[in-house]
Amino acid sequence: MVSRRDSFIGSATFDIMNVLIATRLDPIARETLEQHKGYVVTQEDSGELATLAATYPDVEALIVRSEAVTAEVIDAFPKLQIIVRAGSGYNTIDVRHARDKGIDVMNTPAANSNAVAEEVIALMLADARHIVEADQTTRAGMWEKKRLLGREITGKTIGIVGLGYIGQLVARRLSGFDVRIVAADPLVTTARAEEFGVDLMELEAVFEQADYVTLHIPENDETHGLIGEALLAKMKPGATIINCARAGIIDEDALRRAKGEKGLRFLNDVYAADEPGAKSVADIADLMMPHLGASTVEANRNAARRAAEQLIELTEQGVTSFIVNREIPQGLDEAYCRLANVLAQMCRGLLGKGTTPKAVATSFYGSLHEYADWLLVPIVKGFWDELDRPLDYRSAPELLRRRGMDYISREVDSKKGYESSITLDLTGTTSSGETRSVSVRGTVAESRIMVSRIDGFDRLYLDPYGITVFFLYKDRPGVLGQIGLSLANAAINIEDVRNPHNPKTGFSLATMKVNRCPEASLIDEIAMQIQAQSAFLVSISA
């Protein structure tokens, strides 16, 4: 057996690991760890985590389900090195504070997938045939056969938003219903979607065409409130939304309005907090469940087994694939990871909507060159921020390959003097077949990101912190004023403006730091008005 002392890549070494399973979890987790030897396991399925910390101060690994692992809880375990979420979502864990404390956080993303996929089908059928109300009224002695006229799923169009683990299984489970399945997922190729019998299309088209839309995306800055007024307005009257993902991805007020106007149906299993009490969606949900997506005997066992196995794999083999809050090795300043991510966001935005990325080339100057493989991870996530798959430096190149993208890590010329900077080039193909290329460069100065070049616009030294909107357009008088007026009409204030011109190409770049985040529809509207080649925003916190 490999010595844990030699192979564990966290900040501490050990011969025996103290593990606390602080949740009601299938005993397979405890059995797997104890059979493997080298682990002292305690399981407590009741009590507050802070109280358990006082009782078990020597805990080095903590396994939880939906328990809230706050900064205070993390601080209460002085020897904690690893937190394992037995399940996919980890929004109940303060992953940033854990990282600051040198603690790795892992999840088990595929363990609950089938349970959630089957729940989606159950909700669809229960709503279509009025199962809950029929049971209640019949038990009360009523005979509501005529009133409870149902609908059939067969022949309908089902829209899946997010073709990750769960989305793919939903597609497979629906295959026997003789339905048309459409989906939106920028990380999945058309060929891959066809394997599941799915027509891949833009998100707006899914909402326009589907009779049922089921959501399977993570909640982050990009997806929070994504299902809002613009998308809901595209839905068919009487269509159904199913949310077994995250509560925050739906704008509840927009859904409330759309439901009243269009008679939409809403089936829900997720909330801002997993706790008793009144729910904000009670007035608009046609079916509500207490977050039962992963609550099956099989899912609990799968998650428990994977939690134990992944803990063993990390501590004995250094397998980091399921760590969700560590992407960098020791010695690499995290600021350069943020830089790589921001540069990738800019490249993707500059390439323009409707342009398919085909190749990426990187240049890492100075001491960054030795971290080229690691820095590819935040670059890939910058291209596709909605990524919900586990990703590390081993799997990032494979993801690019599956997306049909070539990747080149270039040898750098030290004579250029770009000490500790990153150059990123992205090439893509437009829908008309035109090849388009963009390039950006940046560095870190006094621990802050600095973008020195965007495409042909050099010596920018742009501080990208806050909310910045970008418009690339053919230079002509009055365009900057048009952009400013449109933002002002939306009550958005401009705090800083750059407007460099490239005489070689005839293009100008407008970068505007604004006081609040514009709606995507507003950026699209401005882009159309000024005939921009590309328009996008980047939002990063200081």
Q: Could you report the per-residue pLDDT of 146-178, keeping only the tens digit for each?
A: 999 999 999 999 999 999 889 999 999 999 999
Per-residue pLDDT tens for 69-88?
999 999 999 999 999 999 88
pLDDT band at 214 (very low <50, low <70, confident <90, very high): very high
Which uninterrupted H or E stretch holds 5? helix 4-7
Asked whether the beta carbons of 349 and 538 are under 8 A apart, the reply is yes
Which uninterrupted H or E stretch holds 370? none
Tell me the two tokens of residue 153: 């799923």
Residue 388 has pLDDT above 50, yes or no: no
Residue 141 has pLDDT above 60, yes or no: yes
- Angle in degrees, CA 113, 115, 121, rounded to 5: 105
Nearest-angstrom CA–CA distance, 436 and 504: 16
Q: Hey, what CATH topology would domain 113-288 get?
A: Rossmann fold (3.40.50)
Number of neighbouring beta carbons within 10 Å of residue 428: 22
The predicted pLDDT at position 280 comes to 95
Concatenate the DSSP letters of all residues of 118-146 into one string: HHHHHHHHHHHTTHHHHHHHHHTT---TT
The predicted pLDDT at position 393 comes to 66
The predicted pLDDT at position 7 comes to 39
Residue with tokens 């694939």: 321
Residue with tokens 């919900």: 388
Tell me the two tokens of residue 166: 């769960």
Across residues 288-308, what is the average pLDDT? Answer: 94
Among the listed residues 276, 272, 277, 269, the one whose alpha carbon sits nearest the alpha carbon of residue 293: 269
Residue 497 has pLDDT above 50, yes or no: yes
Among the listed residues 352, 455, 344, 346, the one whose alpha carbon sits nearest the alpha carbon of residue 396: 344
- Kindly state the percentage of the chain with pLDDT values over 90: 68
Asked whether the beta carbons of 64 and 85 are under 8 A apart, the reply is yes
pLDDT band at 536 (very low <50, low <70, confident <90, very high): very high
Q: Where are the domains of the chain?
A: 4-109+297-317, 113-288, 327-458, 465-542
Nearest 5°: phi and psi at 215?
-100, 130
Sign, CA torsion 107/275/218/469: negative
Residue 11 has pLDDT above 70, yes or no: no
Across residues 211-215, what is the average pLDDT? Answer: 98
pLDDT band at 396 (very low <50, low <70, confident <90, very high): confident
Contacts of 138 (CB under 8 A, 6+ apart): 144
Concatenate the DSSP letters of all residues of 64-90 into one string: ESS--B-HHHHHH-TT--EEEESSS--
How remote is the C-alpha of 202 from its chain's centroid? 17
More reliable by pLDDT, 400 or 330: 400
Gyration radius from the chain CA atoms: 25
Residue 14 has pLDDT above 80, yes or no: no
Nearest-angstrom CA–CA distance, 509 and 470: 7
DSSP 475: -
The predicted pLDDT at position 83 comes to 97
Among the listed residues 206, 204, 163, 207, the one whose alpha carbon sits nearest the alpha carbon of residue 187: 163
CATH code at 4-109+297-317? 3.40.50.720
Q: Give the least confident one: 219-233, 405-419, 422-436, 516-530.
A: 405-419
The predicted pLDDT at position 386 comes to 56
The predicted pLDDT at position 254 comes to 96
Do 113-288 and 465-542 agree at the fold level? no
Nearest-angstrom CA–CA distance, 130 and 126: 6
Per-residue pLDDT tens for 311-355?
998 887 766 778 888 756 667 887 898 899 899 999 999 998 889
Asked whether the beta carbons of 192 and 246 are under 8 A apart, the reply is no
CATH code at 465-542? 3.30.70.260
Per-residue pLDDT tens for 432-441?
889 999 999 9
Nearest-angstrom CA–CA distance, 205 and 236: 11
Sign, CA torsion 332/336/341/344: negative
- Kindly state the percentage of the chain with pLDDT values over 70: 93
Residue 389 has pLDDT above 70, yes or no: no
Contacts of 281 (CB under 8 A, 6+ apart): 247, 252, 266, 268, 271, 288
Q: What is the 3-state secondary structure (H, E, C) of 519-537?
A: CHHHHHHHHHHHCCCEEEE
CATH code at 327-458? 3.30.1330.90
pLDDT band at 6 (very low <50, low <70, confident <90, very high): very low
3-state secondary structure of 107: strand
The predicted pLDDT at position 5 comes to 35
3-state secondary structure of 429: strand
Number of neighbouring beta carbons within 10 Å of residue 363: 22
More reliable by pLDDT, 192 or 277: 277
Question: Measured between alpha carbons, how far is residue 383 from residues 27, 353, 529 in Å?
Answer: 40, 12, 26
